[in-house]
Structure formats: structure tokens, C-alpha cells
Amino acid sequence: MTAGWLTTHVLDTARGCPAAGLRVRLYRIEGAARTLLAQMVTNADGRTDSPILPQGQVVPGIYELVFEAGAYLDAAGTLHQEPQFLDEIPIRFGISDAGAHYHVPLLLSPFGYSTYRGS
């Protein structure tokens, strides 16, 4: 069986470019417990330099990616009101197959976002 892994890709749809320099945190959720597993920053392509969860570290369960959108939008010089409409964006998802590649991309603008299970 192949060991699975977890990746992300963040695109700034308002500016039409990858979201470089956006901090991402990964948590594992078990009941009321939330355990930090990884922290990374997106590179010039809007991706992390390595998988958020490398091959062999994926365990079935509930996870949460938190994208620090507010700090990224501030650093990018995006005009917005105070307080910002979006700050931290949590995406909670399940992993059922420890041998699969899970890709959780984020399409981001100052007033909205979307995600999906990518490939």
C-alpha cells in the first residue's frame, strides 16, 4: 500500500496570482482536542515547499487547516475595511484513506473563498 500525503495550494483570485507568504497551520481533531501538527508558509507558487503531512504520516481522522488570510491580505497591501471581513479561514475535513493523496486548495479574495478536494 502506498503511503498518503497532504498538500495545499493557495491562489489570490483578487490579484490573479499565487498567494505567497501565507501562513498555514494543520491540526488533528480528536473529540474536543485540537493538536497542532504542522505550520508552514506558502512559497512563490502559493504552495508549501514540502507536503503538510508527508508520506507515511497520514492517519485517518478529522483534520483542520487554518489559513492566516488576514495577515496575508495586509502584507499584500489589499485595501479593506477594519476589521477585515476574513481573518483566519479554518477548513475542517476528513481523511478516510491513509494511502491517498489529499490536496486541499484555497481560492482567496478579501471577501470570499472556496475550496475543494483537488488532485
pLDDT in tens, 25-51: 999 999 999 999 999 999 999 999 999
Q: Say what the pLDDT of residue 2 is.
A: 64
State the amino acid at position 109 in one-letter form: S
Residue 83 preceded by cis peptide, ω within 30: yes
pTM beyond 0.85: the answer is yes
Which cell is 81 given?
A: 475595511
Q: Say what the pLDDT of residue 80 is.
A: 73
| pLDDT, tens digit (0-9, with 9 covering 90-100), for 82-117 | 888 999 999 999 999 999 999 999 999 999 999 999
Q: Regarding predicted confidence, which is higher, 84 or 62?
A: 62
